[in-house]
Amino acid sequence: MVRATGGFFTVLDEQGRAYICHARGKMKLQKASLLVGDRVRFCPGTKENGVSAGEAARGCREGLIEALLPRGNCLTRPPVANVEQLVLVLALRDPDPDWQLASRLLLMAERERMEALLCLNKVDLVGPAEIDAAARFLDHFPYPYLFTSAKAGKGIAGLEARLRGCHSVFAGPSGAGKSTLLNAVEPGLVLKTGAISAKAGRGRHTTRLAELLPLPQGGMVVDTPGFSRVDFAGLEPEQLERLFPELDPYRGRCSFRNCTHLPEPGCAVRDAAAAGEINPWRYQHYRCFLQELIDRRKDQR
Ligand SMILES: Nc1nc2c(ncn2[C@@H]2O[C@H](COP(=O)(O)OP(=O)(O)O)[C@@H](O)[C@H]2O)c(=O)[nH]1
Ligand SMILES: [Mg+2]
Ligand SMILES: [Zn+2]
């Protein structure tokens, strides 16, 4: 299911043909919980009614959704299911990169078992020295990254290759260039870009629905308005370590078995961060998030 509007769902069949669907009676209760990206069992209808002339002209058909198939994963903001890859877009300037927000989003990707790709966009706004500095900053960063410029067409082929054949969601601060990058990959998408919240108004910005957009070379994407905050709902402090993949090689190498990697002596993780084998800012984020989770647990008592 690629789009939901006013009780109608757009479903694509295996050949990529679109069907405008209702949900079958007993599914009505569940209807609100149908998410873009959901796999459904549906039966194609033959009637023409309910399909507008425009839709019919584009080859849209009718259908009836009979069942929701099991989900691989499920995000709440944006509300989408079965996403395989998070494409995290940060601008090198305007706005400056928010690395902690990046780590929060990467944590969400780990929780939902998604692949992650970092796009450092707007390279046209900075000089070679700043690009070098960013690359040094990303030393031992545990995810692949690309330098891109949606404006200058740099890195677009690399991004396109990464999007091919899978379902991706774009995330990152508002203004980083997510929509512009997607338009550069596929001009046919004609996504709205630029200062959204100021002119179009907050309401429109926040109520915009998630939609899975097909890419001509295969694969689908969800553009999002941007995230400013990712909370750690339902996450326990003990689970945090597993969501930093770069800590995996050090598991069991600290002096204390239940080492939190904060104040304990003989901590292999802290030593590795000090030696630059673990990216030091990622380690700082780990510490900061763990403290946040511990404080939250105290507050709940
Ligand atoms: N200089 C420069 N500007 C860009 C680039 N990509 C996007 N922009 C501009 O940044 C602003 C925000 O872009 P937009 O795609 O709407 O960001 P989004 O909120 O992440 O979707 C727009 O004015 C774009 O023209 C880039 O690579 N270089
Ligand atoms: Mg946008
Ligand atoms: Zn430790």
Domain 3-70: give its CATH code.
2.40.50
The answer, yes or no, to whether any atom of ligand 1 lies below 6 A from the CB of 149, is: yes
List, by residue range, all CATH 2.40.50 domains of the chain.
3-70
State residue 52's pLDDT score: 56
State residue 197's pLDDT score: 43
State residue 249's pLDDT score: 96
The answer, yes or no, to whether any atom of ligand 1 lies below 6 A from the CB of 177, is: yes
List, by residue range, all CATH 1.10.40.50 domains of the chain.
237-300
Give pLDDT tens digits for 254-270: 999 999 999 899 999 99
State residue 216's pLDDT score: 87
Report how far ligand 2's centroid is from the alpha carbon of 229 (Å): 16
Report how far ligand 2's centroid is from the alpha carbon of 179 (Å): 4
pLDDT under 50 in the chain at which residues? 48-49, 196-207
Domain 237-300: give its CATH code.
1.10.40.50
Domain 75-222: give its CATH code.
3.40.50.300
**Strand pairing category for 3-5 and 8-12:** antiparallel
List, by residue range, all CATH 3.40.50.300 domains of the chain.
75-222
* 142 vs 109: CA distance, rounded Å: 13
Mutate to test the pocket of ligand 1, among 180, 181, 190, 197 (most ligand atoms within 8 A of CB): 180
